[in-house]
Amino acid sequence: MTNDILGIADDAMSWVETAHDATGRRGVAAGYDLRQGWQPPYPETSGYLVPTLLRAARVLDRPALAVRAREIGDWLLELQSADGAFPGGMGVDGPPVVFDVGQIIFGLLAIGDTASEAAAERAGRWLLTQQRADGAWLSHFDFPNTYSSRVSWALAELWRATGDPAILAAVRRSLHWILRQVRPDGWIDGMAFSASHTPWTHTIGYALRGLSRCADLLADDLAEQARAAADRCARRLAELDSPLYPLLPGEIGLGFEPLADYACLTGDAQMVTIWWDLHRREGDAVLAKRCEQVLARLAELQVRQPLEPAAVGALPGSFPLTGGFEPLAFPNWAAKFLADAAMNVVSAR
């Protein structure tokens, strides 16, 4: 069983190598689109792929993945602006985006050399200038959102590395703001790109994982409140009646109402890590079984046939493939979170 699960991660990482090669090893292609081919490199997701590549290099005994991680780190250093920010969105010409800069910090800290750590500090300083006084982070639509708890998590990691009290204060302001968005039923407002968007399970997964990891790193009363909020929301999601079971509906609305007849597979992969962590802490056998069922289903949907060689090892954005999240495409972040989920389940056994 362990080898089968690691095979999922192995295939996903082989596809990430292909996506890295597609750019001339100048960042990782955002994905492969069946209509348009390879997409441009994506600084944000290239950044948070670095820790996955480094971990996979150890777990899968594939040292070449660590070489690629460092190449991505060097490429990111070339992109950093004097103020500490990075280009936002796909390609290298977009204006900076708070969320994207936060995700790149993960990669810089994982590389861990002097230049990368200094770059992470500059990026963190830029983020401090972008936080609203009430603690909220704005999305690329200027929407105060809770999925940017992953930005707070990145800053919490940076605080652990630097001990900078200003960074810790920013993390705490963010958590205070997010906790004010939690409804009595466990739903967390602001988990979408804008007020007019419905949250995908992908952005819901961002919100919950960011809260949980901040709780792990801060380990105080505020952290426990953050953990409780994430855990309650995660359990409510596990209780949803979904026709796609064991997968979740790709879009979920206020009151945990299913709003889509397709699955956002990235979000399902993220939920495996979230549910597995909750199982590990509380010994919940039901959640453990759900995680194994979801992984098995994702493995069935992972591309293995060579009819489209550029997609072998990738995970589609949606199931069915024409669903509302990255339709007819294979985003690199889907492969990342699938590999993370597989490695997390194996390592916690």
Domains in the chain: boundaries: 42-130
Residue 348 pLDDT greater than 70, yes or no: no
Query: Which phi-psi region, left, alpha or beta, contains residue 302 (left: φ > 0; alpha: ψ -120 to 50)?
Result: beta
| CA–CA dist 74, 61 (Å, integer) | 23
Alpha-carbon distances, residue 224 vs 215, 229, 258, 284 (angstroms): 6, 9, 28, 19
**Residue 251 pairs with which residues in a beta bridge?**
200
Give yes or no for residue 73 having a pLDDT over 70. Answer: yes
Question: Mean pLDDT of all residues in the chain?
Answer: 97
Q: 41 preceded by cis ω (within 30°)? A: no
Q: Helical H runs in 219-331?
A: 221-238, 265-282, 285-301
pLDDT in tens, 288-341: 999 999 999 999 999 998 778 999 999 999 999 999 999 999 999 999 999 999
The pLDDT confidence band at residue 1, using thresholds 50, 70 and 90, is low
Q: How far apart are CA 25 and CA 266, in angstroms?
A: 24
Query: Three-state DSSP class for 145?
Result: strand
Three-state SS at 240: coil
Distance CA(143)–CA(194), nearest Å, equals: 5
Cβ neighbours for 37, distance < 8 A, ≥ 6 positions apart: 310
Hey, what are 261's tokens? 């007849």
Q: Which two tokens stand for residue 228?
A: 């409780």
* Band of residue 211 on the pLDDT scale cut at 50, 70, 90: very high
Gap between the Cα atoms of 179 and 230, Å rounded? 10
Strand partners for 319: 263
Percent of the chain at pLDDT above 70? 99
Question: What pLDDT band is residue 32 in, cutting at 50, 70 and 90?
Answer: very high
- In the block, residue with structure tokens 């489209």: 308
Q: Which residues contact 69 (CB under 8 A, 6 or more apart)?
A: 49, 50, 53, 54, 57, 107, 110, 111
Nearest-5° Cα angle at 201, 199 to 203: 60
Per-residue model confidence as pLDDT tens digits over 227-248: 999 999 999 999 999 999 999 9
Please, is 268 exposed, middle or buried when counting C-beta atoms within 10 Å of its C-beta (0-12, 13-18, 19+)?
Answer: buried
Residues 276-298 have a mean pLDDT of: 97
Q: Is 239 exposed, middle or buried (0-12, 13-18, 19+ CB in 10 A)?
A: exposed
**Tens digit of each residue's pLDDT (9 = 90 or more) over 113-134:** 999 999 999 999 999 999 999 9
**Which candidate, 289, 205, 209, places its Cα nearest to that of 251?**
205
Which amino acid is residue 296, in one-letter code?
A
